[in-house]
A and B are shown apart, each in its own frame.
Chain A
Amino acid sequence: MSIDTETARRVAHLARIRVEEDRLPALAGEFNAILGFIEQLQEVDVDGVEPMTSVTPQRLKRREDVVTDGNQPEAVLANAPDAREGFFAVPKVVE
């Protein structure tokens, strides 16, 4: 299976990474090289094999469903590129 420029454009958009139009053909080429390498997996017989969900057999621990943290808006916002009045500020989201 081969990735064309149009697919590269779509993937870049899904990943929310701006790729300039003139870079797309080269990017598609890089994807194809990596996917070609991954293609070997098709030779493996995986019939009846469960996909791995956890590499070490363990039951996730449970705890009381209570609030254990919070009330630190200043610390939460401290590293924001743009924070105002206790909120993260972003460009207009809705038209």
Chain B
Amino acid sequence: MSDLTDLTLAEARDALRSGETSATALTEAYLEAVEGADALNAVVHKTPEVARRQAEAADARIARGDAPELCGIPIGVKDLFCTEGVASQAGSRILQGFAPRYESTVTDKLFTAGAVMVGKLNMDEFAMGSSNETSTYGPVTNPWRAGNSDAALTPGGSSGGSAAAVAARLCVAALGTDTGGSIRQPAAFTGTVGVKPTYGRVSRWGIVAFASSLDQAGPMTRTVRDGAILLGAMAGHDPKDSTSADLPVPDFESALTGDVRGKVIGIPKEYRMEGMPSEIEQLWQDGVTMLRDAGAEIRDISLPHTKYALPAYYVVAPAEASSNLARYDGVRFGHRAALDQGDGIVDMYEKTRAEGFGDEVQRRVMIGTYVLSAGFYDAYYNRARKVRTLIKRDFEQVFDAGVDAILTPATPSAAFELGQAQDDPIQMYLNDVFTVTVNMAGLPGAAVPAGLDRRGLPLGLQIIGRPWDEAGMMNVAQAIEDRAGFVARPEKWW
């Protein structure tokens, strides 16, 4: 067999079941890849002991013929997931030294199914960022480089470590989370597949909360099929998350026929942004052609409140964050500032949070505090929630009119250089202009690689699905994957 790290999740699963390879062999291959990739800074807590123990157990299960889909599959876990006895810092200094005494529902499900964890993955602090530069561990470097330049590019964010790890083959697949685009934007920047499920499809229990009404965990993989397999293992009702939906989980993988004949694909005119690079425009057009060739019906649609999604998000998300992050006070877990003689408890809170939170997190917590404060609550927070209702209504109307899925670009550009957009928060926020509507409306969205720009960097398309129709959405992604013939991968320089 050729390099074990070249196997997709589906191929690795089949090779494990047929005895062509073992979980231990697969795991060792990935641990070696992780060891050799420190230059990417994608894996921030390596867990080889955990991985070897899990691999051994997986081999025993496979030998007994008791092998669920993920049995023996090496995965990477975003640092936002609480993993029992393993550092879980959400990319923040304020959680330095925190090792939870419990397992998040998603990682518990995956480990129960036999998955192997190679390590915890870098991310923007508390998932607030689009370039992985707000991380306390320092930025991740994208394994992709432009043309013959060796300038360091961002892998996107906030799930930048997950995207880079999958693209660089440091794990078969990775877990990400998406509050405004944090799975789909990094997937697009790294030529990988990222799926944000319908709000409520996947339990949030044990995932460090950023904006609870928007957060969803999802798979980041090399292929659409792999995403379907991993999502199936992550999804399902959880009594510990009151917003998780008590709905049956379809067999996402078997739904991937790639047949989209007769499906109605909406093309929203509001996503044709002023100043959009021609390559993004061309990619979108290529996607339309691919789906039309596949027998889908292409229909122009309008989502009139699109332009208000990002400003509404920057009220709702910071408001929820200011509330969620109130728990980091230096009392129960993580960092506590050294205090001066005579300091009281408020000094402790203020010093701890000033030292523990980075600039962007501080900024968002304070903006959230402001929009929720007396006198501004109606003007900002309530208005943003009303706009959110309108954004969701836009989607409901096009779905009611018979649209099955919506096709848009995933990002307004390819991966940019680290340091390039750091100084201007608003410029950074614009990365999520195509993805954030989906979170505001609670819909499923997927990013799938569909081409390269002229410098050889990957570009992604986004498919937005009807609520709970991840299966149909991923099938459209499959149709694009089948036709785009995206086989490029980053040349190893690390």
Contact = CB atoms under 8 A, between A and B. Distances in A.
A36 B199 CA distance: 29
Interface string A31-58: 1011101111110101001111111101
Nearest to B315: A38
**Size class of the contact patch on chain B:** 35 or more
Nearest to A47: B386
A63 B239 contact: yes
Given A30-B425, A55-B442, A80-B333, A41 B383 contact: yes
Contacts of A54: 213, 243
Contact of B426 (A12, A34, A82): A34
Contact of B344 (A7, A58, A92): A92
B385 interface: yes
Contact of A37 (B200, B314, B366): B314
B381 to A, nearest CB: 8
A40 B264 CA distance: 32
Given A56-B467, A81-B330, A16 B335 contact: no
Contacts of A66: none
A15 B365 contact: yes
Interface residue SS majority, chain B? helix
Contacts of B384: 38, 41
Contacts of B329: 16
Interface in A56-81: 56, 58, 60-61, 63, 75, 78-81
A17 B354 contact: yes
A34 B363 contact: yes
Interface string A1-23: 00100010001111111110000
Contacts of A58: 200, 243, 245
A75 B333 CA distance: 11
Nearest to A46: B386
A78 B362 CA distance: 27
Interface in B354-380: 354, 357, 362-363, 365-371, 373, 380
Interface stretch (B174-182, B188-196, B225-233, B388-396): B388-396
Interface string B311-349: 110110000001000100111111110010001111111
B98 A17 contact: no
Contact of B363 (A7, A30, A37, A79): A30
A79 B335 CA distance: 10
A91 interface: yes
A88 B343 contact: no
A35 B363 CA distance: 12
Contact of A88 (B332, B370, B429, B442): B332
The winner among A33, A63, A91 for most chain B CB atoms within 10 A is A91
A3 B375 CA distance: 14
B357 A17 contact: yes
B242 interface: yes
Given A38-B380, A55-B441, A56-B442, A18 B351 contact: yes
A79 B332 contact: yes
A61 B239 contact: yes
Contact of A50 (B99, B335, B386, B425): B386
B199 A56 contact: yes
A17 B366 contact: yes
Interface of A: 3, 7, 11-19, 27, 30-31, 33-35, 37-42, 44, 46, 49-56, 58, 60-61, 63, 75, 78-82, 88, 90-93
19 contacts: A15-B366, A16-B353, A17-B365, A31-B367, A35-B370, A37-B314, A40-B311, A41-B383, A46-B390, A50-B389, A51-B385, A52-B385, A52-B388, A55-B213, A61-B246, A82-B336, A90-B331, A90-B348, A91-B343
